[in-house]
Amino acid sequence: MAQATEAATTGGIGDSPQTIVAVLFGAVLALVGVLGPVLGGASGELIIFGRNYLHDGIHLLSGLAGLAAGYYAGGQYASEYNKALGVVYLLVTLLGFVLFDLLADLIALNTADNVLHLALAVVFLGVGFALGE
């Protein structure tokens, strides 16, 4: 308990699975959001994933939100971030399969993105709802 209190007062992430996932995936998403335009220009693929500036911006913002949720107040908002992002990724996955052409045009979504989004939804929902605070 003293460690959690210390993390909350110092702004550290502590060692809870919630904060570790929020910070780790937040950092990766933010990095992808920055590297997309640097490596791929205005649009195109990054490895096998579709991307454009809007897609990169979404990754950057969701990554920064994860970093904030993991660090702010000792990570007390990490669980909410993981749950919310899991629900959002599940919704994006479903919409990606149902409205593929629309999302392909809007945010350069492709099948690899849909599969990755489904895997991320499972991870975020699993951590957010199955693991404790």
DSSP sequence for 85-129:
HHHHHHHHHHHHHHSHHHHHHHH---HHHHHHHHHHHHHHHIIII
Residue with tokens 């999302």, as numbered in its chain: 103
Nearest Cα neighbor of 127 from 71, 85, 95 is: 85
Give the chain's mean pLDDT. 86
Q: Is the pLDDT of residue 4 over 80?
A: no
Share of the chain above pLDDT 70, in %: 86
Give the tens place of pLDDT for each residue, 20-37.
Answer: 999 999 999 999 999 988
Q: Which long-range contacts (CB under 8 A, 24 or more apart) does 10-16 make?
A: 10/74, 11/71, 11/72, 11/73, 11/74, 12/71, 12/74, 13/70, 13/71, 13/74, 13/75, 13/78, 14/74, 14/75, 16/75, 16/78, 16/132, 16/133
pLDDT of residue 40: 75
